[in-house]
Amino acid sequence: MRLHGDTELYKSGYTDEALGRWFERMQIWSKGEQPKDAKLIAEAAPRGSKDERDVFCYFDNTDKLWAPYDARKILTKLDLLKNLPAEPGKLMDE
């Protein structure tokens, strides 16, 4: 998914509440499920098909002014921030 701004395309960052909603959707998608309010462009997968999925999220908002901050907030919610390098070639927990 590509997120282009919370309230105004390419001009706004995301509130903690908005990021929380996207986080919940990512959790649902990663389990192979669909949010109840999903608007699908294709027929849904057959019932019972709940294979885990990788979820990719790209922040492309405000000429990149908010995108790095919003991405870090989502990584924190997913408990993935600790795996990012503090500097090139080093893990943060080394």
Residue scoring higher pLDDT (58 or 92): 58
Calpha distance 12→75 (Å, rounded): 19
User: For residue 14, how many other CB atoms are within 10 A of its CB?
Assistant: 23
Which pLDDT does position 89 carry in this prediction? 53
pTM of the entire predicted model? 0.71
- Checking if the pLDDT of 72 tops 80, the result is yes
pLDDT per residue over 41-52, tens digit each? Answer: 877 665 556 688
End-to-end CA distance of the chain: 31
Phi then psi for 86, rounded to 5 degrees?
-70, -35
What mean pLDDT do residues 9-36 have? 91
